[in-house]
Amino acid sequence: MSSLTGGNAVVGGVPTVSLDVPILAVLIVLFAAGSATNIAIYSRNRKRNHKFLMSLFLHGFCIVRVLTCSMRIAWATQPTNKSLVIAAQVFNNAGIIIIYILNLIFAQRILRARQPGLGWNPVLGVAFKAFYGLIIACLVMAITALVLMVTSTNPSTLSACHDIQMTSVTFLFIMTTLPLFILAITYLMPEHRDKETFGHGPMSTKVLIVIISTCLSITIAGFKTGTAWDPRPLSNPAWFDEKPAYYVFGFTLEIIVLWLLILSRIDLRFHVPNKSKGPGDYSQSIELSSVVSEEIKRPCTQKE
């Protein structure tokens, strides 16, 4: 196993059939249910011409996590298979950036509604797009470095990959904190006379959802960053390399974020008119009908 991990302990350890497979099976059910729920929400909204692509993003996140758990189950049955180790670790690092990006998008929408002069500034718009691109680029860099660290034995290559991985995970951690700073700026600035609203429900609820989701994401990213900066030898793993820490600070927090976003009905609360491009566009949306407003209280899988 040491040859597959560069001599360092793997966060979560090597999965076993007796312990990990039952846990992973439960996680697959929870993520699969999240996937089905988001597809049901998206399909129902599409019939009403209510476009909200974030439901598809969450569906994608769930699919990645189902694959992550499936790869770990396969790894448990073939612990010396290098390809399965790589696949499991790659999927483990992917997926969560979708949540990071959603938090940024929701914070940006609140900023644009409360402070339209700043929120719709073209320079800030370019900055947000750059942030999204950098997040994806960091993920690609981290995954590439991870693969090379497992497959290469060249010391210089391993050193370079380690530096790339440290830079990537640290940057991603910083990115997860941005929504909190955006919300702070939004509410510390004097209230804009042309402030708008969007979606269903009070703005305070939207802010609370973003704060909770962001804080949980910061915890997840912080755990990943901390474990990356303090690798332990395979012969002497730390507490954060053990299975309880791996499942609590990873999958459990992700499940909480996922179902927070689903059950709070972000598809209604954070919806904005299609092709919104400037101040005043949010206010041009047609008011939600009583049927749509009432739907937030109904199970999303209930037949119409």
pLDDT in tens, the chain (304 residues): 444 555 677 888 889 999 999 999 999 999 999 999 999 999 998 888 888 899 999 999 999 999 999 999 999 999 888 888 888 888 888 889 999 999 999 999 999 999 998 988 999 989 999 999 998 998 888 888 888 877 777 888 888 888 888 899 999 999 999 999 999 999 999 887 888 888 888 999 999 999 999 999 999 999 999 988 887 877 788 888 899 999 999 999 999 999 999 999 999 999 888 777 767 667 765 454 344 555 544 555 444 4
Longest Cα–Cα distance of the chain, Å, equals 64
Q: From residue 213, give the alpha-carbon distance in Å to each of 6, 37, 88, 294.
A: 34, 19, 25, 24
Per domain, the residue ranges of the chain are: 2-288
Q: Measuring CA to CA, which residue among 279, 277, 266 is closest to residue 50?
A: 266
DSSP state of 49: T
What value, to the nearest 5°, has the Cα angle with vertex 254 and ends 104 and 186? 25
Helix %, strand %, coil % of the chain (to 5): 70, 0, 25
First vs last C-alpha separation in the chain: 53
d(CA 193, CA 73): 56
> Exposed, middle or buried by CB within 10 Å (0-12, 13-18, 19+), for 201?
middle
Fold classified for 2-288 = Rhopdopsin 7-helix transmembrane proteins (1.20.1070)
For tokens 């993920």, the residue is 139
Cα atoms found within 13 Å of the Cα of residue 174, Cβ hemisphere only: 11
Could you tell me the pTM of the whole model? 0.88
Q: Which tokens sit at 218?
A: 């910061």
CB 251 within 8 A of CB 216: no
d(CA 103, CA 94): 16
